[in-house]
Amino acid sequence: EPEVTQTPSHQVTQMGQEVILRCVPISNHLYFYWYRQILGQKVEFLVSFYNNEISEKSEIFDDQFSVERPDGSNFTLKIRSTKLEDSAMYFCASTPGTTSGEQYFGPGTRLTVT
């Protein structure tokens, strides 16, 4: 069964460094998303992406964040200058079509900012 994959599974970085989290959504899916889950808290929406444009973003998704689909398979989240509070599990998700709200999640990347 097709799955969303994410790399790396764990990323450790120093405060102020740039990080790029990578995702390969399910093939032929059209919408892509990033969510984060700070330890012990609920899963929070960051951004959705469709047709090479941001479709919706939350107030968390400020100028420090950016997303890109650099090729036909990858979907990336970049954090330009990481802060301690960016430490979280980051989940990528994808949706098959334009009429379905169903989202399929990847296993997540745990980001630790020291």
Partner 1 sequence: AQSVTQPDIHITVSEGASLELRCNYSYGATPYLFWYVQSPGQGLQLLLKYFSGDTLVQGIKGFEAEFKRSQSSFNLRKPSVHWSDAAEYFCAVGARQAGTALIFGKGTTLSVSS
Residue 24 in the binding site for partner 1 (CB under 8 A): no
**Interface with partner 1: number of residues (CB under 8 A):** 31
SS3 content of the chain, % helix, strand, coil (to 5): 5, 50, 45
Minimum distance from residue 13 beta carbon to partner 1 (Å):
20
Out of 50, 66, 74, 76, the residue judged to bind partner 1 by CB under 8 A: 50
* Interface region with partner 1, contact rule CB under 8 A, candidates 19-27, 31-39, 69-77, 79-87: 31-39
One residue of 13, 22, 24, 43 binding partner 1 per CB under 8 A: 43
Cα first-last separation, the chain: 37
CA distance 104 to 96: 9
Residue type, 41: Q
Question: Is the Cβ of residue 24 or residue 30 nearer to partner 1 in the bound state?
Answer: 30
Residue 80: both structure tokens together: 């330009």
